[in-house]
Amino acid sequence: MNVEAGLLHESQRLGTQIERVLRPTNWAEAVKLYESFPAALPVAGATDLMLDLHRQESSGSDVVLIDIWGLPESTEIVVKDTEIEIGCAVTHNQVIDSPDLDPALDLLRMACLEIGSPQLRNRATVVGNIVTASPANDTISALVALDSTVVIDSSAGSREVPMREFFTGFRATALNDCELVRSIKVPRWSDTTIGTWLKVGNRSAQAISVVHAGIVLELDEATSSIDRADIAIGSVSEVVAVSASLKEYLMGKKLNEETAKGAAQIAGTDISPIDDIRGTADYRQAVTKAAIHRALLGLSENYLQDAVTTPLLGWSVGRPKPSESDISATTEISCVVNGSKITAPLGTNSTLLEWLRATVSSGTKEGCSEGECGACTIQLNGSAVTSCLVPTAQADGGSIVTVEGLAQDQELHPVQRSFLNKFAVQCGFCTPGFLVAAAALLSEIENPSADEIRSGLAGNLCRCTGYYSILEALQGAEAKGNVS
């Protein structure tokens, strides 16, 4: 192997390291800290940030983080008379687990269901999705179509920016220096508002969108003609925005087959689709037309998608109270790991995966380091997460279960026994992540269906088994024993 730094693969390079983590105890303190440390990076779920840092070659200067993950006021979904406010640390699984708040949130919920895997949704936040500002981010089309507003705070005060003006370019936003997004406000729907959300991807899980779109229509109560038409299409251009052409075409029309066909044709010509590894411009144009047609036709026929439930793998809003002290490389991190208290310096172990392998044991495996394969799945404070995307500092004071903690009193966990009996293991590299995720699944759903197993384990990849033996193991009697 050539060890010259310039010739190393990106997975072999050290990446940008975390020098210090600042831990405010409330939102006002976070705003002041950001003013004092303008070069710092705010962090909540950290799923995008940790990946970005891993991919950046170290320039010799490490980064400082401002951790807002554990702030109680940031984790709330507040339902008001005219709007719903989503705090900046609200996760996608939190939205999924909060049905019937309002039909507007049901549309957002549809988009949240398509984000990554259960492990990722336990960490990734809705606000983080918009701040990252990739046009492929699924929730953006829903929030733009919903005519949401971004609430932004700084030491100079607070301001609100319409979501449709928040994105200024590819991965670019209207945020100024030292400004933090506090929340997103979503207007509540009237009785005559209808809508849906759609996505086309290259696989059924862990798929970046080829096309995604949010559709919100307001119908005249007397005539049933369209009074409002907001259709936002994403992953086809640099910015997700409402289609002016579709709005103009739909206004005043009845929602029927003819209208759906006309709108689909306009959608196809209105976009200037991109070519990339996920799809050609021609393909994007074709599937956009087909998807918009089907979605509008479904709405015209009063077809309402059944409320989808999906395993959350232990999602919980409860988070350890942040320590009042900041964390640096010399700070000792203290966690309860598999029932025993472990204390060790942070050192250069920026991710929880690195810290666990260096400090506790090597059972938790590093596969992709991108949150894609699930090999590093652990349970953190009861939630299954990919430890390669968790900053070690955020685990301080928490409770962790790794694959070594599943067995109790020399007795294998029922899931472990079932995997052995059904030959659900071949090379074994992915197995620790599968076992931890499966244990979380069976603690949540005692008798999961095949679809629930597929959904719950969508964040875990295996090259060897073909998955059939894993499905059999989790539907077998052995796995349905004492899983608490």
CATH number of residue 291's parent domain: 3.30.465.10
Residues 83 and 194 in one domain: yes
In a domain, 309, yes or no: no
Last-in-domain residue among 401, 432, 457? 401
Strand pairing category for 63-67 and 18-22: parallel
Residues 208 and 79 in one domain: yes
Residues 190 and 338 in one domain: no
Whichever domain contains 393, its CATH number is 3.10.20.30
CB atoms within 10 A of CB 244: 9
User: Residue 166: what residue type?
Assistant: F
82: left (phi over 0), alpha (psi -120 to 50) or beta: alpha
pTM of this prediction exceeds 0.85: yes
Give CB contacts under 8 A, 24+ apart, made by 128-134: 128/44, 128/45, 128/47, 128/48, 129/92, 130/163, 130/166, 130/173, 130/181, 130/184, 131/173, 131/175, 131/181, 132/48, 132/171, 133/167, 133/170, 133/171, 133/172, 133/173, 134/170, 134/171
Residues 225 and 130 in one domain: yes
Residue 432 forms beta bridges with which residues? Answer: none
Would you say 24 and 35 are in contact if contact means Cβ atoms under 8 Å apart? no
Residues 392 and 436 in one domain: no
In a domain, 252, yes or no: yes
Strand pairing category for 399-401 and 332-337: parallel
In a domain, 162, yes or no: yes
Along the 484 residues of the chain, how does pLDDT read in single tens digits? Answer: 445 555 666 656 667 888 899 999 999 999 999 999 999 999 999 999 888 888 776 666 788 999 999 898 899 999 999 999 999 999 999 999 988 889 999 999 999 999 999 999 999 999 999 999 999 999 999 999 999 999 999 999 999 999 999 999 999 999 999 999 999 999 999 999 999 999 999 887 788 999 999 999 999 999 999 999 999 999 999 999 999 999 999 999 999 999 999 999 999 999 988 888 888 999 999 999 999 999 999 999 886 666 667 999 998 877 777 666 789 989 999 999 999 999 999 988 889 999 999 998 889 999 998 999 999 999 999 999 999 999 999 999 999 999 999 998 889 999 999 999 999 998 999 999 999 999 999 999 989 999 999 999 999 999 888 899 999 999 875 666 644 4
Give CB contacts under 8 A, 24+ apart, made by 28-36: 30/66, 30/68, 30/71, 30/180, 31/153, 31/154, 31/155, 31/180, 32/155, 33/66, 34/66, 34/154, 34/155, 34/178, 34/179, 34/180, 35/154, 35/155, 35/178
Residues 370 and 414 in one domain: no
In a domain, 306, yes or no: no
In a domain, 312, yes or no: no
Domains: count for the chain: 3
Buried b (16+ CB within 10 A) or exposed e, 269-307: ebbebeeeebbeeeebbbbbbebbbebbbbbbeeeeeee
Q: Is 474 helix (H, G, I), strand (E, B) or coil?
A: helix
**Could you give the count of Cα atoms lying within 13 Å of 374 in the half-sphere of its Cβ?**
28
The span from the CA of 464 to the CA of 235, in Å, is: 33
Whichever domain contains 468, its CATH number is 1.10.150.120
Would you say 209 and 235 are in contact if contact means Cβ atoms under 8 Å apart? yes
Residues 132 and 87 in one domain: yes
Q: How large is the C-alpha radius of gyration of the chain?
A: 23
In a domain, 308, yes or no: no
Residues 129 and 266 in one domain: yes
> Comparing C-alpha atoms, which of 368, 322, 347, 320 is closest to residue 18?
347
Residues 87 and 66 in one domain: no
The span from the CA of 206 to the CA of 458, in Å, is: 7
Q: Is 461 helix (H, G, I), strand (E, B) or coil?
A: coil
The span from the CA of 328 to the CA of 346, in Å, is: 7
Q: Is 62 helix (H, G, I), strand (E, B) or coil?
A: coil
CB atoms within 10 A of CB 265: 13
- Kindly list the distances between the CA atom of residue 394 and the CA atoms of 99, 389, 434, in Å, as whole numbers in the listed order: 28, 11, 23
Last-in-domain residue among 370, 385, 401? 401
The span from the CA of 162 to the CA of 153, in Å, is: 14
**What pLDDT does 15 receive?**
74
Helices (H) and strands (E) in the chain, counts: 16, 20
Residue 369's domain spans which residues? 5-70+319-401
* Cα 345-351-356 angle, rounded to 5 deg: 60
In a domain, 396, yes or no: yes
For the residues of 336-362, what is the DSSP string, one character each? EETTEEEEEE-TT--BHHHHHHHHT-S
Q: Is 334 helix (H, G, I), strand (E, B) or coil?
A: strand
404: left (phi over 0), alpha (psi -120 to 50) or beta: alpha
In a domain, 313, yes or no: no
Beta strand ranges found along 220-283 (DSSP E) = 226-234, 241-242
What secondary structure letter does DSSP report for 374? -
Residues 323 and 427 in one domain: no
Residues 161 and 19 in one domain: no
φ, ψ at 240 (rounded to 5°)? -85, 125
Last-in-domain residue among 401, 417, 440? 401
Residues 371 and 473 in one domain: no
